[in-house]
Amino acid sequence: MMLILAAMLLWAFGWWLNLRLAEGPYAHTRAIQVTVPLIFGLTILIVWELLVRGLQVPLVILPPPTMIAGRFASSTDILWADFVQTFVKGALSGYIIGCCAAFVMAIAVDRSHFLRMGLLPVGNFVAALPIVGTAPILVMWFGFDWQSKAAVVVVMVFFPMLVNTVAGLRETTAMQRDLMETYAASYWQSFFKLRLPAAMPFIFNGLKISTTLALIGAIVAEFFGSPTLGMGFRISTSVGQLALDMVWAEIVVAALAGTLFYGAVAMIEKAVTFWHPSQRG
């Protein structure tokens, strides 16, 4: 009972603190803008801990955060092996192959107006479909190991990337293209000097969407069969053993991997498209 009361008090205190900070005179400073969500997140974690202990929620329903952290710390070697298997081998290799393939395809499509007209609606259509469903087929073709996961990721990231790149390559105005023509620039000259840089914001948009898709594809594909390691495998087997602290630890890994992956691509974007209005503000 005490713990529940403490949780409620803490919640009220955290909210009050954030209220003061958000309405306060320094609300626009960077430090406060980082602190407020951190306080919010921390409050949730502590309230979670107190409530789980206070209400004596069974561990097979919801383990407290400290236990998840403990499990995370004590099984870093397993988590690391799973991370390498799913993220580095499955998601990352598939991401690179898929994005490169889509990029090359986009350049090929871009040269023909007819193809572009036909392929864009189809690509947009396919990008909205539940492509993870191809996982059982690809697992059947490429076996249980990471190759099949990479294949799922390739299929998943291909169309969003293709659609974005094709749209980006259209992003020049007639005036700009005419200027290149008056310079007697060849196709490739105007491609590298004008159209590719202009397409970069779109390309990075596709790359950023694809980071999350890649992780989703690699993890879900493991639900259809995998060797005895990998994040998706660990999640589904640990759920079966009711070892929920392991599941949560694995989810923490997935969250970290997803955020860092996205952050890395966003950083590269910042360096490449420094000229774009969205990056200057």
Chain residues in the site for other proteins (CB under 8 A)? 15, 18-19, 21-23, 27, 32-33, 36-37, 39-41, 60-62, 114-115, 117-119, 121-122, 125, 128-130, 132-137, 139-141, 211-212, 215-216, 219-220, 223-225, 231-232, 235-236, 239-240, 242, 244, 247-248, 250-251, 254-255, 258-259, 261-263
Q: Least CB distance from residue 16 to other proteins, whole Å? A: 10
Q: Of the two residues 5 and 42, which places its CB atom closer to other proteins in the complex?
A: 42
Closest C-alpha to 272, from 215, 212, 196: 196
- Give me the amino acid identity at 269: E
Question: Minimal distance in Å, beta carbon 193 to other proteins?
Answer: 29
Our CB check for other proteins shows the closer of 90 and 194 to be 90
What single string gives the DSSP state of each residue in 207-258?
HHHHHHHHHHHHHHHHTT---S-SHHHHHHHHHHTT-HHHHHHHHHHHHHHH
Alpha-carbon distance of 91 to 83, in angstroms, equals 10
Q: Which is nearer to other proteins, 69 or 262 (CB)?
A: 262
Minimal distance in Å, beta carbon 259 to other proteins? Answer: 5
CB of 60 within 8 A of CB of 244?
Answer: yes
For the bound state, the minimum distance from the C-beta of residue 101 to other proteins, rounded and expressed in Å, comes to 15
Between residues 148 and 172, which has the closer beta carbon with respect to other proteins? Answer: 148
With contact defined as beta carbons under 8 Å apart, do 201 and 278 qualify? yes
Please give the span between the terminal C-alpha atoms of the chain, in angstroms, as a whole number.
Answer: 50
Nearest to 250 by CA among 88, 90, 87, 60: 87
The CB-of-14 to other proteins minimum distance in angstroms stands at: 9
Whichever of 12 and 192 has its CB closer to other proteins, that residue is 12
